[in-house]
Amino acid sequence: MRFRTAAIHAGQYPADHQGAVMTPVYQTSTFAFQGVNQPGPFDYSRSGNPTRKALEQCLARLENGIAGFAFATGMAAEATVTMMFSAGDRIIVHSDLYGGTYRLFETVMRDKQVTATYIDLRDLDRVERALAEGARGVWIETPTNPLMNLVDLAAISALARAHGAVTICDNTFLSPYFQNPLDLGIDVALHSTTKYINGHSDVVGGGVVVKDPKLAERIGYLQNAMGTCAGPQDCFLVLRGVKTLAVRMEEHNRNALAIAQWLAGHAKVAAVLHPGLESHPQHALALRQMRGYGGTFSFRVSTDMAGMTRLLESVRVFTLAESLGGVESLIDHPATMTHASIPPDVRARMGITDDLIRLSVGIEDLEDLLDDLKQALDRV
Ligand SMILES: *Cc1c(COP(=O)(O)O)cnc(C)c1O
């Protein structure tokens, strides 16, 4: 099965469900035993549920892994994966990443003596030094959020493997349609299914896919022990959403690239951060490890905070909101919204300044999106 077919059929067997073409929502907490000491294929929904299993098998197939796990949220997936580490472990974390991941490491894991060392993972010598000093894991996001920097997944996974460190790649931004971290040697592919995989802004969810049986066993154990799994209704919705992932991603990609190219020529735009532009310093790496660029990117506007506020409040088709990956276009001001939980000095060092805007470009008509941005930029 190829990708589009797998997105619609993997893990879904009508014959197991009275012929139902859509996997039903098994809204039950518990399952009848067939006799004393004889559980059926499922016994309790935290440990396993047929709707969730269908989604987990589908995710595993799309990321080319052997096992998938569905979680209540992307952060539940992250929290569960970080529990693979023990007190005293050090993890290398990319210095530019999702604000919630930074918060998890800084305000939760640090207290448990799992410490994050923030490194620019584009600097492979620096990564190798940190690995040689005994780091147990590498936590990667590529492209990064919101600065759209890329990390060379094949290079990092080779270095990490040589030092016995586990690699985790948050693949939320590109989805398995445009990038498959496990194929590049990464150990754990992680998703906020809230974003492109579900794609309709009506669920929060997380996913993890691995290709090593030992890791699969460990994560399955933690998912059950910690109770971080997704409920059946949410799994049903994500399973429905993922069927159209390929067609949505093509449209997101096309609209976003066209808008990025248009913005790059706009007098009030100081910079466009989009890996599909030849001006992006890692455009060659993008061509090597990604099959597309997704629908999310950022740009800088030459104005002050007052001009920024006028721009952000005058969009009509774009909605001023956090999140990304839905069919509708969203506009985000990272410094005051998605990345506000990062201390201002750290934000400034990273380059997440007041002039930065992040767009999640939806699949509306391109002309309407361009008209909307044009009138909003006219007010700056
Ligand atoms: C949204 C997001 C998360 C967190 O996912 P939730 O579903 O909101 O918990 C993690 N990583 C990235 C890159 C995200 O965009």
Give the CATH number, domain containing residue 58: 3.40.640.10
Of 173, 192, 203, 341, the residue with max ligand 1 atoms within 8 A of its CB, to mutate for a pocket test, comes to: 192
68, 181: one domain:
yes
54, 128: one domain:
yes
Q: What is the pLDDT of residue 122?
A: 96
Mean pLDDT value of segment 41-47:
97
338, 287: one domain:
yes
Alpha-helical regions (H) of the chain = 3-9, 50-62, 74-82, 99-103, 124-132, 153-162, 175-178, 213-226, 232-242, 245-264, 283-289, 305-314, 344-350, 366-378
3-class DSSP assignment, residue 324: coil
**98 catalytic residue (yes or no):** yes
107, 226: one domain:
yes
**pLDDT-derived band of residue 339, with 50, 70 and 90 as boundaries?**
confident
Q: What is the pLDDT of residue 302?
A: 97
**218 catalytic residue (yes or no):** no
Nearest to 274 by CA among 262, 284, 283: 283
Instruction: Report residues whose beta carbon is within 6 angstroms of any ligand 1 atom.
Output: 73-75, 98, 100-101, 141, 145, 170, 172-173, 192, 194-195, 204, 206
Domain with 341, as residue range(s), is: 245-377
Q: What domain count does the chain have? A: 2
Mean pLDDT value of segment 296-325:
97
Q: What is the pLDDT of residue 156?
A: 98
Q: What is the pLDDT of residue 96?
A: 83
Q: How far is CA 365 from the centre of its chain?
A: 25
Tell which atom from ligand 1 comes closest to the C-alpha of 204: 7
List Cα–Cα distances, 346 to 118, 319, 342, in angstroms: 11, 27, 7
* CA-closest residue to ligand 1 atom 5: 74
Catalytic option among 26, 98, 118, 196: 98
Report CA(74)–ligand 1 centroid distance (Å).
5
Task: Identify the domain boundary among 242, 259, 288.
Answer: 242
118, 208: one domain:
yes
305-336 per-residue burial string, b: 16 or more CB within 10 A, e: under 16: eebbbebbebbebbbebebbbbbebbbbbbbe
List Cα–Cα distances, 200 to 60, 197, 241, 372, in angstroms: 21, 9, 7, 21
Residue with tokens 């096309």: 254
Catalytic option among 52, 90, 136, 195: 195
**61 catalytic residue (yes or no):** no
Task: Identify the domain boundary among 242, 269, 288.
Answer: 242
Report CA(75)–ligand 1 centroid distance (Å).
6
72, 211: one domain:
yes
Neighbour order of strands in the sheet with 115-119: 67-71, 206-210, 188-192, 166-170, 137-141, 90-94, 115-119
CA dist 213 and 133 (Å) reads 28
CA dist 350 and 147 (Å) reads 9
258, 199: one domain:
no
Report CA(30)–ligand 1 centroid distance (Å).
30
**pLDDT-derived band of residue 379, with 50, 70 and 90 as boundaries?**
very high
> Which CATH number fits the domain that encloses residue 319?
3.90.1150.10
192, 203: one domain:
yes
**For 1-35, how does the pLDDT look when each residue is reduced to its tens digit (9 = 90+)?**
999 999 999 999 999 999 999 999 999 999 999 99
Nearest to 282 by CA among 116, 13, 60, 96: 96
8 Å CB contact between 243 and 8: yes
Extract the tokens encoding 87: 């007190």
269, 156: one domain:
no
For 116, half-sphere exposure in the C-beta direction (CA atoms, 13 angstrom radius) is 23
Q: What is the pLDDT of residue 340?
A: 87
Residue with tokens 């800088």: 300
- Whether the model clears a pTM of 0.85, i.e. scores above it, the answer is yes
Helix axis angle for 366-378 and 245-264, nearest 10°, is 40
226, 121: one domain:
yes
194, 336: one domain:
no
Q: What is the pLDDT of residue 74?
A: 98
**pLDDT-derived band of residue 287, with 50, 70 and 90 as boundaries?**
very high
212, 319: one domain:
no
Residue with tokens 């595993």: 60
Q: What is the pLDDT of residue 165?
A: 98
Of 145, 195, 196, 339, the residue with max ligand 1 atoms within 8 A of its CB, to mutate for a pocket test, comes to: 195
CA dist 218 and 318 (Å) reads 42
3-class DSSP assignment, residue 257: helix
**CB neighbourhood size of 295 (10 A):** 32
Length of the chain: 380
Extract the tokens encoding 11: 């893990």
**For 219-274, how does the pLDDT look when each residue is reduced to its tens digit (9 = 90+)?**
999 999 999 999 999 999 999 999 999 999 999 999 999 999 999 999 999 999 99
Task: Identify the domain boundary among 180, 213, 242.
Answer: 242
Helix, strand, coil content of the chain in percent (nearest 5): 40, 15, 45
Mean pLDDT value of segment 359-365:
98
pLDDT score of 145 more than 90: no
Report CA(227)–ligand 1 centroid distance (Å).
19
